[in-house]
Amino acid sequence: MHEMSLAESIVSLVESHAEAEGFSRVKAIWLEIGELAGVEVEALTFSLDVVMRESLMEGAQVHIRRQPAQGWCLACSQAVEVRDRVSGCPLCGSHQLQVSGGDALRVAELEVE
Ligand SMILES: [Zn+2]
């Protein structure tokens, strides 16, 4: 499962931050996940729950923010939000969209002690 390896890499990223910055517990984490990243949020939350056990993130609250992609519709010459790759422009339905961003997953914030 793709989300399980994502969860593992998030925890190991946080662990290396902990070593560098000298904190020993994480109370909360905020993740930003692009709408086009192909991540199942429920599966990721479940995987994190498993992977975080017996780590410095045990019991931490996980907050997830979805980030829509930005698109430029060539048909209506407007900037639009893109939530998936199949629906086209939310205003006119055209598929002449230039899409940027929205495919990343990053750790936005950590609350530590
Ligand atoms: Zn359009």
Residues 65 and 52: their CA atoms lie apart, in Å, by 19
Is 89 labelled as part of a ligand binding site? yes
pLDDT at residue 10 tops 80: yes
Tell me the domain boundaries of the chain.
2-68+102-112
Q: What confidence tens digit (pLDDT) does each residue in 22-45 have? A: 999 999 999 999 999 999 999 999
Write the CATH number of the domain with boundaries 2-68+102-112.
3.30.2320.50
**To the nearest whole number, what is the mean pLDDT of the chain?**
94
Residue 26 has a pLDDT of 97
Residue 9 has a pLDDT of 96
- Enumerate helices (H) and strands (E) in the chain, giving the number of each: 2, 6
Q: How confident is the model at residue 84 (pLDDT cuts 50, 70, 90)?
A: confident
Ligand 1 centroid – CA 71 distance (Å): 10
Ligand 1 centroid – CA 90 distance (Å): 7
Q: Spell out which residues have Cβ within 5 A of ligand 1, the ion.
A: 73, 75-76, 89, 91-92, 94
Residue 1 has a pLDDT of 59
